[in-house]
Amino acid sequence: MSSAGEKAYLSKQEIPPGYLNIMGYVDESEVNGPGTRAVVWVQGCLRECPSCFNPSSWSFEINELVAIDSLVEKILSKERNEGVTFSGGEPFWQAPALANLARKVKAAGLNVMSFTGFTLEQLQSPSAPAGAQELLQELDILIDGPYIESLAINTPDSPVSSSNQRVNILNPDFKDRVTWASDMVEIHIFKDGRRLVTGYRGSINLQEG
């Protein structure tokens, strides 16, 4: 494993078993995958892609620890969540915990999609992060590949943010469900006045009220 990979693993050890370290969460999003879904942005990414849409997700320090079971409960409590999307940050650095979460929501009939900066081939190789296979087995859709600024595309007919990224349909039932676009944006306004802007290139931007 590379020293960068070791760094991620060492930091990950601070996360208690049964928990995720997340950057953000939202229910009922319509711009982060097929249909209406919850989105979990995990904390921690090593890539430092130029013009990354979520640079505050890079740090592996603990941001918000959330118990997997309480997150499952939260996702299932909203009837309109037909699935969940993992974004980041790099979801595959917390693959075992996300696989656990995915199994639980799938048992309740929801679908699961993930973004990743790795390629599918890297995730299937022996040097993949721990638990990568376990998580891949639970996914209906995987958007793979890092964001490359020089290959950026933000159009109504592209579900990916740069042309090197691929939409891998891992469950054939989802072959006609690639309905979102990389240029879409939505704003969630919460009762306490906070606003969350998401969608464009998988971004998340929380603004205090």
User: Which region, judged by CB under 6 A, interacts with ligand SF4, from 2-10, 73-81, 83-91, 99-107?
Assistant: 83-91
For position 89 contacting ligand SF4 by CB under 6 A, the verdict is yes
| Residue 72 or 93 with smaller CB distance to ligand SF4 | 93
Total residues contacting ligand SF4 by CB under 6 A comes to 13
| Residue 49 or 197 with smaller CB distance to ligand SF4 | 49
CB 38 within 8 A of CB 86: no
Residue 143 beta carbon to ligand SF4: minimum distance, rounded to whole angstroms: 10
Residue 176 beta carbon to ligand SF4: minimum distance, rounded to whole angstroms: 27
For position 117 contacting ligand SF4 by CB under 6 A, the verdict is yes
Which positions ≥6 away from 71 have C-beta within 8 Å?
Answer: 20, 25, 40, 101
Question: Segment 18-77, which members bind ligand SF4 (CB under 6 A)?
Answer: 45, 47-49, 52, 54, 57
| Residue 49 or 181 with smaller CB distance to ligand SF4 | 49
Residue 146 beta carbon to ligand SF4: minimum distance, rounded to whole angstroms: 5
| Residue 51 or 70 with smaller CB distance to ligand SF4 | 51
Task: Please spell the DSSP secondary structure of the chain, one letter per residue.
Answer: --HHHHHHHHHHTTSPTTEEEEEEEEEEESSSSSSSEEEEEES--S---TT-S-GGG---S--EEEEHHHHHHHHHH-TT--EEEEESS-GGGGHHHHHHHHHHHHHTT-EEEEE-SS-HHHHTSTTSPTTHHHHHHH-SEEEES---GGGB---TT-SSSBTT-EEEESSGGGTT-----TT--EEEE-TTS-EEEE-GGG-EEEE--
- Cis peptide before 89, with omega less than 30 degrees from 0? yes
For position 146 contacting ligand SF4 by CB under 6 A, the verdict is yes
| Residue 72 or 84 with smaller CB distance to ligand SF4 | 84
| Residue 45 or 84 with smaller CB distance to ligand SF4 | 45
Q: What is the contact surface with ligand SF4 in residues (CB under 6 A)?
A: 45, 47-49, 52, 54, 57, 88-90, 117, 146-147
